[in-house]
Amino acid sequence: MSVATSSVRKGETLIDTAMTLNAMHVDVLVVRHPESGAVKLLADKVNCAVINGGDGSHEHPTQALLDALTIRRRKGELSGLTVAICGDILHSRVARSNIHLLTTMGARVRLVAPRTLIPVAVERLGAEVFYDMNRGLDGVDIIMMLRLQTERMRGNYMPSIREYFHFFGLDYEKLAHANTEALIMHPGPMNRGVEIDSVVADDFGRSVIREQVEMGVAVRMACLELLTRNLPDESSKNA
Ligand code: ASP
């Protein structure tokens, strides 16, 4: 259901919506919500499985899983790799989920961004912070570029888009600091010429952006399969 046309817009609370959905006896709910923590709140109230499809700037677990699958297919394993996550870390649920997954799997994570786009005390999540792209990309195996989430920004976080691209946009000059075999990733949607140079994004020797989309289908199918595997079959449900 779309929030724009649903009862949520008519003033129903999230918990009332959860109760309504619960009464429909669905098997799985996939929820994307603009508020951080809303999916957890909903999951605590319903009996079925809930997949977080992205909650505010908090988490995006299936994106991290599809990123991990893409990396594993190309590099064999995650352990021992150095991954640079670059750009708007502050507003990125993709960054948070990836930090958790990658550090759990034994990869080293670097966060590369201007000071204004780095969350306070983010090193506590186990990542190293860099404010300079060339240093942050030095010798890395994976480069994950993030979109500037202007829809979540209140105020100015950088002098101009042009300056942002100059210092933090991925172009061949900055890419030259990474490992020669480094993969380029982006969760999409991409802002060409803002966080990534168009030619770099389309460099299919290095860029695995399309493969990420493909792996997204596989990972989400796997999640649905796992969560529905032990459901009682229809005949026993009716019995
Ligand atoms: N598609 C990703 C997300 O939903 C990344 C983005 O929107 O920039 O968070």
* pLDDT 10s digits, 161-220: 999 999 999 999 999 999 999 999 999 999 999 999 999 999 999 999 999 999 999 999
CA distance 197 to 179: 18
Pick the residue whose CA is nearest to atom 8 on ligand 1: 147
Is 238 a residue whose pLDDT tops 60? no
Q: For the chain, what is the mean pLDDT?
A: 93
Site of tokens 């493969």:
211
Structure confidence at residue 198 (pLDDT): 97
- Predicted local confidence at residue 18, as pLDDT: 85
What is the radius of gyration, based on Cα positions, of the chain?
Answer: 20
Averaged pLDDT, 111-119? 97
**pLDDT tier, 36 (very low <50, low <70, confident <90, very high otherwise):** very high
- Cβ of 169 closer than 6 Å to ligand 1, yes or no, is no
Q: What is the pLDDT of residue 182?
A: 98
Q: Are the beta carbons of 113 and 87 closer than 8 angstroms?
A: yes
For the Cβ of 54 lying below 6 angstroms from any atom of ligand 1, the answer is yes
CA 105 to centroid of chain Cα atoms: 16
Torsion angle of the four alpha carbons 188, 194, 200, 203, in this order, in degrees rounded to the nearest 10: 30
Ligand 1 within 6 A of CB of 34: no
Query: Residue 91 phi/psi, 5° resolution?
Result: -100, 10
134-163 mean pLDDT: 94
- Residue in 66, 91, 94, 146 to alter for ligand 1 test, most ligand atoms within 8 A of Cβ: 94
End-to-end CA gap in the chain: 30
- CA–CA distance from 14 to each of 5, 25, 102, 193 (Å)? 14, 17, 32, 38
Judged against a pLDDT cut of 60, whether residue 239 lies above it is answered with no
In angstroms, the CA 24 to CA 4 distance is 20
91, 126 in Cβ contact below 8 A? no
What's the gap in Å between 137 CA and the centre of ligand 1? Answer: 22
Distance CA 143, CA 17 (A): 39
Residue 195 Cα, ligand 1 centroid: separation in angstroms?
14
| pLDDT for residue 102 | 98
Report helix, strand or coil for 52: strand
Give the per-residue pLDDT at 166: 97
> What's the CA-to-centroid distance between 190 and ligand 1, angstroms?
9
Task: Name the token pair of 115.
Answer: 């000071």
Can you give the pLDDT at residue 3?
61
Q: Is 60 in the pocket of ligand 1 (CB under 6 A)?
A: yes
